[in-house]
A and B are shown apart, each in its own frame.
Chain A
């Protein structure tokens, strides 16, 4: 008896153990796939922090993510008189900075030459700011002080302290720095890692010592917002694009919800002439790519819908949000989803309401719509996602001015803005990551609706 029992528990244990290993294997596989699907975003996001995201080899090591540099950026910004997270160089403040070099045997040990450069921008609006005040004209550089020397195997390791004072009455938001050492002297470390090493290692160059931690880490993201703005209105373009995309998405979600449920209900429950033909036509339209019909649509909008807009004092609908919205008030697929949903609802309530003398409109608004909440939820998300990500229509309709771009078209314009010869991938990646954020957040919060929408309609692509 006892032996018997032992045997069973032994088997149980074995089964249990096996179950655990099975689960382990499944997790392993699932994790591998997560790396595949999310890794791309994460890698893109991490690299968007780098000074040069296309440096080779493309490792995950990022100066902007090293805590040593965070501390350095914090300390320097505090010394400059600003906050540690968002810094500046205030009047009367002194920034103190340490740097270590290795001088090989045979090279005379001379302290680095300290230069606060007047740095001109080569592109964008900033290229014109030649007459602005440069911090270089106001700061005083205190003679470099040697603070340590260790003799190592084939040379000397020397540390210097560099002090820069702002004796003027002005505050500045940046303090660029260049250090120049003789050829073959190796840069080892500094309070804050340099943004660039140039001239065969002779120059270490910092964009801004006093940026503070946040702008230091997210400098490409700040560039996205700061470097692109409309000269006519002065508004930041990237913010405007985000706003435009939100505005258009919300309007289209509202029109779609309203009109798609109306049409879907009519198609699902009401009798009218040509119903079947219409439904086939809707299915047909869902298969036809937008490129097939876009020429006519472009012309229709150009002429203000057969001149109708002239009645309201408007003209061409190209380059207008109205044009963008009106050409896609409600998509055929949204109608299709709502029709499917309404068909799946039981008929009894509707029939008894009709016997009680309710009109079609009453049945629709009082009974059917409240029942359709889950479908409307999924449709909201699907439509929002579709409009937010829409590329082709805005590309055709909105060409200028840049204030009217949606986020997708705006991002496309980054390809030209940041492509003087080679792509400056920093702001391009940063812009891409920022513009994906709203939809990703929305997705994480309303995950259920996304999945429902996808599975009970299967309409995407």
Chain B
């Protein structure tokens, strides 16, 4: 492009499956698109402590041109001026349009009117349940019309049918799960810039969530030797867990035969609404990169409709483009496709908020998790 100058865009992200996905995307979508423009891309996974490494490398001037930004901590590096605002690039772009992206996702990376990141995919929470346990107990599966009370009843019946050999819901003692119920009750985390923990809605949700454990209808995953809801499901000792699409790959490896289903989180009886979190990761461009234009081109290719379609069809992640809502993949009759659909729908059902706390990052939650 620029006089045939060869430029290599360094992409930095997580290790593990992400590495495989992005490298595959590079081969399939970046190379064919940009090779003749003299742009190549290489993926550099960071396996241990991504944030720490990213911030180090930003300070050392060795950071990649294009990197993952988790909504959870993005605000800090954006405020530190390390991320390039994208508005000018978007204005010129022919491929990438702000309006194509699901608005709530894009908002999460918009600060003072400027867009700093293009969401690559997202997740929300779903109620994932073990069908066998409901079948054996002759109880109807949980569904999207259930209120908190309905779900509680169903769980109680399952527990009864198995004489307490099985408990109801895997209750992770953390805000990242419980918070969704507080939102369902109509709670707002910050009122007039202050935390708002004395709100009756917060208390209602808290009492219901912890009440499940007291009634023997829920168990902390750690109490059955597991670290999280997914692990708890594989033991077949809990009827349901609250997790996002990240659970699917785990179940494939650890419980390939588990008969599971997924549905939206139950509604608060008062508000008639479910609540949910949006977890999302965006592509950000290094403000000090020498390759910003090339990096943006790579970003375009990575978030193109074709690339996102490819990701979705493989059930690897739920893409951020609005247009994919009526993709045939979501109509497929496999448990995975159905669970992915629920996660997709979850992001717009009821009172949904991005999983972040202004610039407080994780510090906000620490004392409350205990």
Q: Which residues of A contact B (CB under 8 A)?
A: 54, 56, 117, 119-125, 127-128, 130, 178, 183, 196, 198-200, 202-203, 205, 231-232, 302, 316, 318-319, 399-402, 409, 412-413, 415-417, 420-424
Contact = CB atoms under 8 A, between A and B. Distances in A.
Contacts of A302: 60, 62
B230 interface: yes
Contacts of A422: 226-228, 230-231
Given A123-B17, A128-B21, A231-B23, A420 B250 contact: yes
A401 B228 contact: no
A231 B20 contact: yes
Interface of B: 12, 15-17, 19-21, 23-24, 42-48, 53, 56-57, 60, 62, 132-133, 136, 225-231, 236, 246-259, 314, 316
A127 to B, nearest CB: 5
A402 to B, nearest CB: 6
B23 A120 contact: no
Given A196-B255, A399-B53, A421-B246, 19 more contacts: A117-B257, A127-B249, A127-B316, A128-B316, A198-B256, A205-B257, A399-B57, A400-B46, A402-B47, A409-B48, A413-B47, A413-B48, A416-B15, A416-B16, A417-B16, A420-B249, A422-B227, A422-B230, A422-B231
B19 A412 contact: no
A302 B61 CA distance: 9
The 8 residue pairs across chains A and B that have the minimum distance between CB atoms: A122-B249, A122-B252, A413-B47, A422-B227, A122-B253, A422-B231, A421-B228, A125-B20
Contact of B44 (A178, A400, A409): A400
Contact of A183 (B136, B254, B258): B136
Given A401-B45, A417-B47, A422-B231, A124 B314 contact: no
Contacts of A203: 257
A400 B252 contact: no
Contact of A124 (B16, B225, B228): B16
A416 B18 CA distance: 12
19 contacts: A117-B257, A122-B248, A122-B252, A123-B250, A123-B253, A125-B19, A127-B316, A198-B255, A198-B256, A200-B132, A200-B133, A302-B62, A318-B60, A400-B46, A416-B47, A416-B48, A421-B231, A422-B227, A422-B228
B15 A413 contact: yes
Contacts of B259: 199
Contact of A402 (B23, B42, B45, B236): B45
Contacts of A318: 60, 62
Contacts of B247: 421
Nearest to B228: A421
